[in-house]
Structure 1
Amino acid sequence: MADIATRRDPLDGIAPITARSRLTIEAAPRGARLVLRGPDSAAVAAGQAFGLALPTALNTAATDGTRTAFKLGPDEWLLLAPENTEAEAYAAIEAAVQEPHSLVDVSHRNIGILVSGSLAADVLNAGVMLDLDPKAFPVGTATRTLYAKAEIVLWRKGANDFHVEVWRSFTDYLHGQLEQAAREYVK
């Protein structure tokens, strides 16, 4: 009987990048990820089935600490949930949404990276051309953007806490860019 393959993420076995208490860059816990596309009425039903009201304002996040939803476009939401819940969440949303919509499980595609500490915004601004001042990019803001040449979703979870979603194929590149930026800021 063949062994079942074990999922390995690109950051498995890589130690977090730390700079005293000023910066930590580490892999986010694994999780389920779904992309919903459809009208706002579909998002209402999807949110009820998902267990979290989906945000209605563009480039915002809603979270209950376990589940998170980002509104990334006029008809697009990225949903994050605990690992191994994708099938359950997918089935619940499909059963609840009656309008035409698209729901895709992208759990295998994305990797989450947490960037936190007083230098987090500076390190992210080394590759992101957004104003990450808390007045311009407040807590709860989430947007699709670029870090250097990698497309990411950037979410400000707290004053000095960010969550970055990146495609698995860009993880090594992004991690290397973050590591290089960290070295520059902690000299």
Structure 2
Amino acid sequence: MTMPYISRHPLENRLPLEPGIRAVDHMDVPRGTAIATVMAMDGEDAAVAAGLAVAGDMSLRFVAPGEWLAVSQSDTPEGLCRNLSLLLAETASVFDQSDGRVVLRLSGPNVRRILAKGIGIDLHPAVFEIGTSSNVLCGHISINLARTGENEFELIVMRSFAESLFDDLRLMGREFDLSADFSAQG
């Protein structure tokens, strides 16, 4: 059984406890996201990719050849890791990252312009398509960036860099009145 020792979200001091006025460009911070690292064993990349394609209610983020982040809003960290371990039994190792990573979701018509201030890759819809993810630097912080919708991006950052990234994104979005609060869904 996994025991989380961290009892508070790293952005609790930066965000209001109750949702405020939501601007057109907004940053949602979900509290309960299950995240697992999946690492394929030698020569098993294709088998793991095939298994992950049918894994169910989660989204995948490419990290490196043979390595993915599995993200779920509906499953618990223990449930996600258990299900992935059973599905990928002899082909991959699965590690819970839920307490060690923070998810930030940016949405709105100016989200590409906001991200372009700190990210050095082409975010044009024809190049960075929906479902695409990549490890990039946002300013000086390493993140996993995924395009999840037409004007929606998800950033996954190590817990220890969450406050710094949050502050950078607020500064980058100040021109567009970027609002931020905890996600209503959890």
TM-score, length basis structure 2:
0.78
Q: Distance in 2 between matches of 1:131 and 1:155?
A: 13
Could you tell me which residue of structure 2 aligns to residue 90 of structure 1?
A: 81
Distance 1:101 1:184, change over 3 A: same
Could you tell me which residue of structure 2 aligns to residue 8 of structure 1?
A: 8
Pick aligned residue for 1:144 from 129, 132, 135: 135
Q: Distance in 2 between matches of 1:177 and 1:29?
A: 20
Q: Distance in 1 between matches of 2:123 and 2:20?
A: 21
Q: Distance in 2 between matches of 1:37 and 1:5?
A: 24
**Structure 2: gaps of 5 or more residues:** 178-186
Could you tell me which residue of structure 1 aligns to residue 172 of structure 2?
A: 181
Equivalent residues, number: 168
Q: Distance in 2 between matches of 1:45 and 1:159?
A: 27
Identity of aligned residues (%): 25
Contact 1:18 1:25 in 2 (8 A): no
Could you tell me which residue of structure 1 aligns to residue 152 of structure 2?
A: 161
1:108 Cα deviation after fit: 0.6
Pick aligned residue for 1:45 from 32, 48, 51: 51
Distance 1:172 1:164, change over 3 A: same
Could you tell me which residue of structure 2 aligns to residue 54 of structure 1?
A: none
Q: Distance in 2 between matches of 1:75 and 1:153?
A: 15
Bigger drift between 112-121 and 177-186 goes to 177-186
Larger relative contact order (CA 8 Å, sep ≥ 6) = 2
Q: Distance in 2 between matches of 1:26 and 1:46?
A: 26
Q: Distance in 2 between matches of 1:9 and 1:126?
A: 26
1:26 Cα deviation after fit: 2.5
Residues 102-121 of structure 1 aligned to structure 2 (within 5 Å): 102-121=93-112
Instruction: Spell out structure 1 runs of 4+ moving beyond 3 A.
Output: 15-20, 45-48
Distance 1:134 1:96, change over 3 A: closer
Q: Distance in 2 between matches of 1:81 and 1:19?
A: 24
Could you tell me which residue of structure 2 aligns to residue 36 of structure 1?
A: 38
1:185 Cα deviation after fit: 4.4
**Structure 1: gaps of 5 or more residues:** 52-65
Matched, 1:25 2:31: no
1:5 Cα deviation after fit: 6.9
Q: Distance in 2 between matches of 1:171 and 1:17?
A: 21
Contact 2:36 2:97 in 1 (8 A): yes
